[in-house]
Amino acid sequence: MLKFGAEIPFVHHLGFTLHRMDGGASEVRYEARPEHMNSFDVTHGGASMTLLDVSMATAARSVTTDMGVVTIEMKASFMQPARGPLVAKGRLIHRTATLAFTESTVLDAQGRVCSHATGTFKYVRRLPADERSAHRRKAIATD
């Protein structure tokens, strides 16, 4: 299992695992826990959207791991309920010096397409860890 390259508490909370991040491609796996289900007892759309987002972001970052990315826009389509273990396969379609254009597909254990998304990400420089911590403390203190 690979490391995402950044500590993302929400991704850790959901239990995503990174299995590929190279050459403009990514693979992120996820199995929804009971608290991640909707009222129909399938993976909540918000969790699926996060899975799509993270797999596109890691595909974008796979070609420049020293940079971070932030989501600029995202469009998702849901084809069928997402049940059981899920795999999201992200792909970098095109990039410029500052933007990444991506797509991702979420598949269930039987290989059926559950959802698909396209997204645009902006490449950003990462703050050193001590600056991030100071920024978080300041944000918490002002809440």
pLDDT value, residue 6:
81
Does the domain made of 9-142 have the CATH classification 3.40.1550.20? no
Report the C-alpha gap between 116 and 103 in whole angstroms.
Answer: 7
Q: State pLDDT tens for residues 101-142.
A: 999 999 999 999 999 999 999 999 987 665 555 555 555 655
pLDDT value, residue 137:
54
Pair 62, 24: CB distance under 8 Å:
yes
The full set of domain ranges for the chain reads 9-142
Report the C-alpha gap between 15 and 9 in whole angstroms.
Answer: 10
Report the C-alpha gap between 97 and 93 in whole angstroms.
Answer: 14
Report the C-alpha gap between 17 and 14 in whole angstroms.
Answer: 9
Q: State pLDDT tens for residues 28-80.
A: 999 999 999 999 999 999 999 999 999 999 999 999 989 999 999 999 999 99
pLDDT value, residue 78:
98
